[in-house]
Amino acid sequence: MKVAVFSTKSYDRTFLTDANLADGDRHRFHFLEPRLNADTASLAGGASAVCAFVNDELNASALAALSKEGVRLVALRCAGFNHVDLNAAQQLNIAVARVPAYSPAAVAEHTVAIIMSLNRKIHRAYARVREGNFSLDGLLGFDLCGRTVGIIGTGKIGIAVARILRGFGCDVVANDPLPNAEFERIGGTYVTLPELLSMSDIITLHCPLTPATRHLINADAITATKPGVMLINTSRGGVADTKAIIAGLKSGAIGYLGLDVYEEEGDLFFEDLSEQMIQDDVFARLLTFPNVLITGHQAFFTAEAMTAIAATTIGNISSFEDHGRSEHQISVERLV
Ligand code: NAD
């Protein structure tokens, strides 16, 4: 099948090419650097499938443009699908497939790396020591052992985070509309969201971005947290209201902030903008706080995860070609 791959980076090319070779070199890839949106969709001309990533815009007009080009499959090389208008895809008879699980450990380990770095101020210590400054002033941390961590969303990643933190001796509590018996088996306790907000020293977000979770962490939620709480978001930027978070950082209500995702990351992340002025004033304000650590949506980025993402993506394209349905096709009916 001919596949137009949008938002391509060198690593996408490498892992997808290897996975395709392992599957008998069945598919022909057209690697494209631009992000997919209504304006760039015509670049998919001649392809039956497109392969898209987290910041591609698969709204109704982009999907209509893809349909005109003859595209029948959107193969997402990611787990989240909040950026796809699934109803429009269904009306246009375009199948949408994703990679539901690749390496929960990759995201969970990065989440814990951010928690550890923020707590022990590794990002600041690294810069200081290189300047010959060995003072410890301002680097005081706290023991994770015995602290309470609130996990919002105990799916594959949330459970993996809980397991690591239990190993550190943390108490883990969680909120999820679909409780997972595994969480309680490893010693976690489900609580209501208000309880989680009020009892957690660290709150970490692992739910998908949906209409119900958009701005779940807003000004009211921040008011309900322990003073100086550590807030971590490696899920999707829209789950937290960035302006409310900035107010919380200024007042001290939020003592630490770790982000791997950002509401408006589409204009920033995955590109080298080091020679340009950042135009996003909200993001620029976040960068001014010493107790904020941001990574550019790299939690998934391990060799194991990239290998698994590419293999599942190729599997989705091959099963669609063979059977007219992808193995990990997203069904609109199951979402309602
Ligand atoms: P998953 O589907 O296994 O788990 C999501 C969990 O969130 C489910 O248990 C679900 O019931 C729960 N949930 C849904 N609505 C909720 C709500 N209102 N409150 C609390 N919990 C709720 O997904 P996963 O594989 O664990 O991934 C979680 C999210 O992480 C993805 O949706 C994606 O947005 C994000 N992610 C980020 C990266 C990254 O590189 N930063 C990589 C992969 C996934």
174 membership: H or E segment, kind and range: strand 171-175
The two structure tokens encoding residue 61 = 């007009």
174 neighbors 226 (Cβ within 8 angstroms): no
Q: Which CATH number does the domain 2-102+302-335 belong to among 3.30.565.10, 3.40.50.1970, 3.40.50.720, 3.30.1300.10?
A: 3.40.50.720
CA 195–ligand 1 middle distance (angstroms): 20
CA distances from 43 to 17, 20, 32, 51, 179 (A): 20, 21, 8, 12, 43
Write down the pLDDT at residue 336.
39
pTM of the model: 0.94
Q: Which of 176, 190, 306 to mutate to test the pocket of ligand 1 (most atoms within 8 A of CB)?
A: 176
108 membership: H or E segment, kind and range: helix 104-120
CA 308–ligand 1 middle distance (angstroms): 18
Listed by start position, the domains of the chain span 2-102+302-335, 104-294
CA 22–ligand 1 middle distance (angstroms): 30
CA 51–ligand 1 middle distance (angstroms): 21
- Tell me, using a 6 A CB cutoff, whether residue 106 lines ligand 1: no
* Residue 30 is among the residues annotated as catalytic for this protein: no
9 neighbors 270 (Cβ within 8 angstroms): yes
- Tell me, using a 6 A CB cutoff, whether residue 297 lines ligand 1: yes
Give the nearest ligand 1 atom to 208 CA: 32
Write down the pLDDT at residue 3.
98
Measured distance CA(126)–CA(148) in Å, rounded = 27
Q: How confident is the model at residue 332 (pLDDT cuts 50, 70, 90)?
A: confident
CA 288 to chain centre: 23
Beta strands 148-152 and 254-259 are unpaired
- Tell me, using a 6 A CB cutoff, whether residue 300 lines ligand 1: yes
282 closest CA partner among 270, 265, 298: 265
98 neighbors 328 (Cβ within 8 angstroms): yes
Write down the pLDDT at residue 105.
97
- Tell me, using a 6 A CB cutoff, whether residue 309 lines ligand 1: no
Collapsed DSSP state (helix, strand, coil) of residue 292: strand
CA distances from 284 to 55, 230, 276, 278 (A): 20, 20, 13, 7
73 closest CA partner among 266, 263, 336, 313: 313
- Tell me, using a 6 A CB cutoff, whether residue 237 lines ligand 1: no
Q: What is the pLDDT of residues 74-94, one digit of tens each?
A: 999 999 899 999 999 999 999
CA 73–ligand 1 middle distance (angstroms): 24
Beta strands 171-175 and 148-152 are parallel
- Tell me, using a 6 A CB cutoff, whether residue 211 lines ligand 1: no
- Tell me, using a 6 A CB cutoff, whether residue 181 lines ligand 1: no
Same CATH topology for 2-102+302-335 and 104-294? yes
CA 208–ligand 1 middle distance (angstroms): 4
- Tell me, using a 6 A CB cutoff, whether residue 265 lines ligand 1: no
Q: What is the pLDDT of residues 281-299, one digit of tens each?
A: 999 999 999 999 999 999 9
Q: What is the pLDDT of residues 247-288, one digit of tens each?
A: 999 999 999 999 999 999 999 999 999 999 999 999 999 999
- Tell me, using a 6 A CB cutoff, whether residue 258 lines ligand 1: no
pLDDT at 27 over 80: yes
Write down the pLDDT at residue 284.
97
Q: Which CATH number does the domain 104-294 belong to among 3.10.620.30, 3.40.1080.10, 2.30.130.10, 3.40.50.720?
A: 3.40.50.720
CA 304–ligand 1 middle distance (angstroms): 19
Report percent pLDDT > 90 for the chain. 97
CB 177: neighbour CB atoms within 10 A?
7
Mean pLDDT of the chain: 96
Position 124, amino acid: R
pLDDT at 335 over 80: no
pLDDT at 104 over 90: yes
The two structure tokens encoding residue 265 = 């990351």
Write down the pLDDT at residue 331.
85
* Residue 236 is among the residues annotated as catalytic for this protein: yes
* Residue 265 is among the residues annotated as catalytic for this protein: yes
Q: What is the pLDDT of residues 117-161, one digit of tens each?
A: 999 999 999 999 999 999 999 999 999 999 999 999 999 999 999
Q: Which of 236, 263, 325, 328 is catalytic?
A: 236
Write down the pLDDT at residue 9.
97
Nearest CA to ligand 1 atom 4: 155
Measured distance CA(203)–CA(54) in Å, rounded = 24
DSSP secondary structure letters along 245-287: HHHHHHHTSEEEEEES--TTGGGTTTS--TTS----HHHHHHT
